[in-house]
Chains A and B, each alone.
Chain A
Amino acid sequence: MLNKIVVAVQKSDFDLNTELETLKLKTEKAGAVVIFVGKVRDLDDDNLRYLEIESFEDLAKSQIKEICDDAANKWGLESILVKHRFGRLKINDNIVLVITSSKHRKNAYEASEFIMEYLKSNVPFWKKEVADKTQKWVENS
């Protein structure tokens, strides 16, 4: 299973089509592929200029790998890919990509949500919203 888990913490963007093509080379047993993309959104009460994402790269990568191992075992996945960006991002830029694949859809859906929930508050990334009127570190609600 380990060779079917891909984790990256990177500054650069990712390309969805490339990742999906790569996935086909990794497994032929996946009948379901769930894709989650998190992206930068504008604020309700201010105009976002950019989102700064800070990361503790090595630790972030090892934390994500660990949760992917857990998810792979729990849901018997065919593959998992998680790519999380850091640095300065603009509105609509991609932040995170999670692709889970399994024989049937239920497992891939559940694992995707599980990984995203974990990423929200257990992996060392911090977001700062820099807008026209204010700038503040994002807090988990």
Chain B
Amino acid sequence: MIFRSLTSVKLGAALAATMTLTALPASATECIAPSNPGGGWDFTCRTIGRILSELELVDGNVQVTNMPGGVGAVTFAMVAAERADDADLIVATSTVGITQIAQGRYPAPLETMRYLAMLGADVGVIAVDNDSPIQTLAQLNEAMAADPTSLVTAGSSGAGGWDHIRLLMVAQEAGVEDLGAIRWVQFDGGTDAVTQMMGGQIDVVSTDLGEIAGFVESGDIRILAALSDEPIPAFPDVPTAVSQGVDVIGYNWRGLYTGGQVTDEQYAEWVSKLETLYNSPEWQEAATASGLVPIWRGGDTFEAFVREQAQVMEQISRDIGVIE
């Protein structure tokens, strides 16, 4: 969209000079970011697009198109209807998109698309204020199990969103039965939730680490558990939930899908290109720089992972009454 809108903004004559510099030659490969510029999906398309052409895995440049609407649903519907067999098209998605699908908020089910790979993830964390009496995940779980209504929890998603579901997965492991009784407050972003916690409005935050890392470093908040396989490289001292006996992995992964009628060969070709990209120092550096942990799951493994994740989300959404 950027480039297309650039040509359309041509009326602003003063921009013409700056535009010609960015009006790159048209290319066959296109990556759609189903959001406005600046968001996570936009980052996925721009970074992967840039590295794909730097490594010469595609001819020319990758055109990035922004198509916001319906938390990705507008793009999903368009690809399903018009470009299901277009092997030159990749679309950015993440856990957020899969949550929407699992709760039936996309026009078609998960199987409509072919899921290529995830290349990195933001790690979910459970955090409390530095002054909080709760010191460990075990203490948090005890408190929630004793009285689910005793703590106010919050994050950057609404009820039934990924931040909420990851917290409930932890609570479920801890033996909390009435998941719906846990109070959940939605904020517009992880930092909003953290600052409200510092202001004493809420007790616990469940969100991605990337956005709130600054508050951990400054000592304003304390992470009780990282929901990752391995300890986070930037904070090696923070224990994972798994190491504390709570078997929950809560990545907010970044990945790509392509149309459902793309052939097996074309699908395999994309997966192998993306694997090359994943292993390149360029991607490892770009991902780490923006707070992501590089993690690879591709091809059939990724398809299976996505389906399993959607099932867990659907089940918990049902349990807490977000969907019927």
Q: Do A and B come from one complex?
A: no
